[in-house]
Chain A
Amino acid sequence: MNDLPTLDWPTAVVFAPLAGAILAFAWPRRAAGIGLASVLLTTAAVAALALRVLAEGAVVTRLGNWGAPLGIDLRADGLSTLLLAMTAGVGLFVSLGALDSYAPARADERTRRYFWPLWLLLLTGLNGAFLSTDVFNLYVMLEVIALAAVGLTVLGGGREAVRAGLEYMYASILGALLFLMGVGFVYLELGRLDFAGLIAAEPAPALTAALALMIAGLLLKTALFPLHFWLPGAHANATAPASALLSGLVVKVSLYIFLRLTQYMPLPDELLVTLMGTLGAGAILWGGIQALRAERLKLLVAWSTVVQIGLIFVAFARAGQVGLAESWKAAALLILAHAVAKAAMFLSAGRIKDEVGHDRIQDLDRSPIRPTLAQFTFALAAISLIGLPPSLGFAGKWVLMEGAMAAGYWHWVGITMIGTLLSVAYFSRVLAGFLRFDRLRTPVAEHQGWALADTAPLVLALAALSLGLVAAPILAFMEIGYPFGATP
C-alpha cells in the first residue's frame, strides 16, 4: 500500500478501461473475462481516487508536466469524482448483468465479442470527459463516446436498431460539430482552451457565440426537448445492457459538461436560464404524454428518460441565474438518481422482455410466465424515478423544490408536481400489468430461476432507493474542491 499515493489515480481511471478495450478487441475469445477484470480495476481506481479527493480535496494531474494552457490537465473534484463513481457503480452492475444477458445461450458470439471492447471504449470516453479540463479534449472525448455508443445501439443488429442508430449517429456528429465550432470561437477570443482561461475571461460576443454553439450541441446530444427526436428509437431498440448504459450514463456526460460550461462561461442573461427551464418543462409534458401512449415497455422507459432529462433542466433553472451557484447540486443529484434507477429499469425491462418473449404493455398481464424478480426490480426503480421517499429521486426533487420555493419560483414547483403525477400515471400502466392476472385462466409459471441478470438490476434499484438516505453526505462530497465558486 506504500506506493498508493504515488500512483496517479486520474490517469489510471482513464487508462484502465482503455487497456481493457485494447486487450478485449485483440483477444476476442477472452473478451468477457478481460472486460470484467478491466471494469473491476477501473472501479478500484475510482474508489482510490474518491478516497484521495475526500482526504485532500481536488486532485490535479498535469499530463506531460506542461500544465494548462499549453498542456492538458486532468482534474478530479467532488462533482467529477461523484460522476466517476456513478459511472463505475452502474457500469460494474451492468457488466455483471451483461455477462448473463450476452451468455452463449442468449446471444450470438459476435454480439458477445463486440460488446466488451465497445463498452470499455465508452467507459474510457466517459471517464475522460469527467476528468477533462480542456474544451477541445472534451470534444474528442465526446466523439469517443459517440462512436462507442452508436456501436452499442446497433449491437442487436435489427433493422429498427440500425435505423435508430443511424439517426443517433447524425445527431451525435452534429452535436459534436456544433461543440467544435464553439471551441473555435473560444480559441479565437481567448487563445487558450482550458477551463481556467474560461473562468478568467471577460464577457465578449465571441464567447456568447461559443457558449450558444456548445450548448446547442450538448442539448442535442443530451436530447432535451425538442431535440430529443433521436433518443426514444435508439434507447428502445438497443439490447437491454446497452440501453441501460446509453440511458443511464451516456446522456449524462453532455449534461455534466453543460453544468460545467454554464458555470464557467459568462452567461448572457436570465433569459437563457429561463429558456432551459421552459424546454425542460416541455420535455416533462411531451415526454410524459408520449410515455402514456407508448405501446412497448422499453419505449415507455425511453420516453421516461426524456422526461427525466427535462426534470434535470428544471432543477438547473429552478432559482434563476442568481440561484445557479446552488441549483447545480439539485441537477447533479437528479443525474445520479436517474443514472442508477434508469439502468436498473432498462435491465429489468430487458429481463421481462426476455422471459415473457415480448414487451407489449397491453399483453403483459396475460403472459403465462411471471418474471417476478425483474418485475419487482422494475417497481423499485419506478419508485425512485417517480420520486417517492426515501429514494435518491425523492432527495433530488426535494432539493429542487426547496430551492425553487426559496426563490419564489412557484411555476417550477408546479411543473415538477405535474411531472410527478404524469410519471405515476405512466408507470402504473406497467405496474398494473404486473399485478392483474384475472384475465388469465392457465396456471402461471414462476420465473425461470434466479439469474445474475436479475441480481444486477435488483442491486441497482435497491441502491437508487437507499442512496436517498445518504443524500446529505453526497451533497457534501459534491462540493469538495469547489467545483463552482470563487476559487477554481
Chain B
Amino acid sequence: MTDPLLIFDVILGLAIVALAVAVLAMHDRFAMIVLFIVFGLLSALAWVRLSAPDVALAEAAIGTGLTGALLLTTLHHIRATPPAPVPVPAGAIIANLGLCGLIFGGLVVAFLSTPLQAPGLALPVAQNMEASGVAHPVTAVLLNFRAYDTLMEVVVLLAAIVAVWMVERGTAQAPSPVMGEIYRGFARLALPAIVIIGTYLLWVGAYAPGGAFQGGAVLAAVGLLLLLSRLYRPQPAHRPLARLGFVLGTAVFAGIALLVASGGRVPFEYPAAHAKTLILLIEGMVTISIAVTLAALFHGREPEYASVSENHK
C-alpha cells in the first residue's frame, strides 16, 4: 500500500495543473485572478510538502498575496473597458498546443533522466555554515554565500519601482473603492499585529524559516492596508522620503559589501566576528526597502502635484 501522503501529493499536483488550465480558460477576469490566487496558495502548499517552508512563505506572501493585490488593482483600473474579443485563429491554437505538448514531452523525458535527490550543494553549505554568521541555511545562502545574487535581486526591485514611477507619470489613479467603517476598524486592529509578525519573520530568519523577503512582504501588507483604508494618502512632499526608502536596502547592502573589502578581504567577505551583526543590519534595511517598494508598486504612480495629471476621467 502506498503512503497516503503520496495520494495527497498526486491529488494536489493534479489540482494545481487543473487550476493552471482554469486560470487561462476562465472567461471572467475577476474570477481568473481569484483562481490564480488559489493556484498560488496550493503551489505554496506543495512546496511545504517538498520541505521548502521558506519558499512556500515567500510564494504565499509575495508571489500570490501581493501579486494578487497588484492584479486586482490593475483590473480595477482597466475594468471600464471589457477586453475586445480578438479571435485567435484555430490553426495558431492547434500549432501552439502541439508545440507546447512537444516541449512538455521533451522536458519530462529530460526530467526523468536526471538524478533525483542528488546532493547538490547541500554538503558545501553545511560545511561552511559555521563561518556564515547565521544558523538557517537558506538565509546563509541568500545573505552570505550568494549575497551578490540577492543584492542584484534588490536592484531588480529598485529598477521596477523606477520604471513604474516613470511609466505611470501623469496618469490619475482610478478612485479606490470605499471600504467602510468596519474595514477601518479591522485595519486598526491588524496593523500592529502585522508589524509584529513581519518583524518576527525577519528576526526568526537567522535560525528558522523566514527572513528579509518574507518579513518585508508582510510589512508591505501594512502599506496596502494603510493605502486601502486611506489612513495614509501618498503626498508629493513625501517623495524624497519614499525614494530614500526604495534605495536604502540596495545602498546599505552594496555599501557593506564594499566596505568589508579591506585588509586582504574581498567584497562580500564579512569579517567572522561581525558577520551576524552585519547580516542582520543588511536584512533589516533590505526588509524596509522591500516593504516600502512593494507597497509603492501596489500604489503605482508617483504622487504628483495636481497640475500635471488629469487625463483620466
Contacts and interface: CB of A to CB of B under 8 A. Distances in A.
Given A63-B268, A144-B159, A204-B113, A22 B251 contact: yes
Given A192-B120, A205-B109, A209-B107, A65 B152 contact: no
B17 interface: no
B77 to A, nearest CB: 14
Secondary structure at chain B's binding surface: helix, strand, loop or mixed? helix
Given A18-B254, A188-B114, A205-B113, A70 B163 contact: no
B229 interface: no
Contacts of A205: 109-110, 113
Given A19-B254, A25-B247, A114 B158 contact: no
Given A141-B152, A144-B155, A192-B120, A114 B165 contact: yes
A208 interface: yes
Contacts of B109: 205, 209
Given A11-B261, A191-B120, A208-B110, A63 B162 contact: no
Contacts of A8: 261, 266-267
A187 B146 CA distance: 15
A423 interface: no
Given A65-B266, A69-B121, A205-B109, A25 B114 contact: no
Interface stretch (A149-157, A231-239, A474-482): A149-157
A450 interface: no
B147 A162 contact: no
Contacts of B165: 114
A96 B106 CA distance: 49
B158 A136 contact: no
Contact of A209 (B110, B167, B246): B110
B114 A117 contact: no
Contacts of B145: 64, 66, 70-71
Given A137-B152, A144-B155, A70 B244 contact: no
Contacts of A208: 110
Q: Which of B121, B156, B257 has its CB near the most chain A CB atoms (within 10 A)? A: B156
B118 interface: yes
A110 B246 CA distance: 18
A18 B146 contact: no
A121 B115 contact: no
A143 B122 CA distance: 27
Nearest to B150: A140
B148 A72 contact: yes
Contacts of A141: 152
A18 to B, nearest CB: 6
A206 B155 contact: no
Interface in A173-223: 181, 185, 187-189, 191-192, 204-206, 208-210, 212-213
Contacts of A28: 243
A148 interface: yes
Contacts of A69: 121, 124
B158 A25 contact: yes
A425 interface: no
A147 interface: yes
Given A72-B146, A140-B153, A118 B258 contact: no
A107 interface: no
Contacts of A155: 166
Contact of A117 (B128, B162, B169): B162
Interface in B14-47: none
Interface residues of A, number: 59
Interface in B156-215: 156, 158-160, 162-163, 165-167, 169-170
B110 A206 contact: yes
Nearest to A210: B110
Contacts of A151: 159, 162-163, 166-167
A71 B146 contact: yes
A185 B162 contact: no
B287 interface: no
A185 B156 CA distance: 24
A209 B106 contact: yes
B114 to A, nearest CB: 4
B149 A137 contact: yes
A327 interface: no
Contacts of A63: 147-148, 266-269
Nearest to A18: B254
A128 interface: yes
A411 B306 CA distance: 62
A110 B304 CA distance: 11
Contact of A147 (B125, B128, B159): B159
B265 interface: yes
A154 B246 CA distance: 21
A148 B167 CA distance: 12
Given A71-B146, A185-B114, A140 B247 contact: no
A185 B160 contact: no
A150 B114 contact: no
B215 to A, nearest CB: 21
Given A26-B243, A114-B165, A121 B113 contact: no
25 contacts: A11-B261, A11-B267, A18-B250, A25-B243, A28-B243, A62-B266, A63-B267, A63-B268, A63-B269, A64-B267, A64-B268, A72-B146, A110-B169, A114-B165, A121-B162, A134-B149, A137-B152, A143-B156, A144-B152, A148-B162, A185-B111, A188-B114, A208-B110, A209-B106, A209-B107
Interface of B: 106-107, 109-111, 113-116, 118-121, 124-125, 128, 144-149, 152-153, 155-156, 158-160, 162-163, 165-167, 169-170, 240, 243-244, 246-247, 250-251, 254, 257-258, 261, 265-270
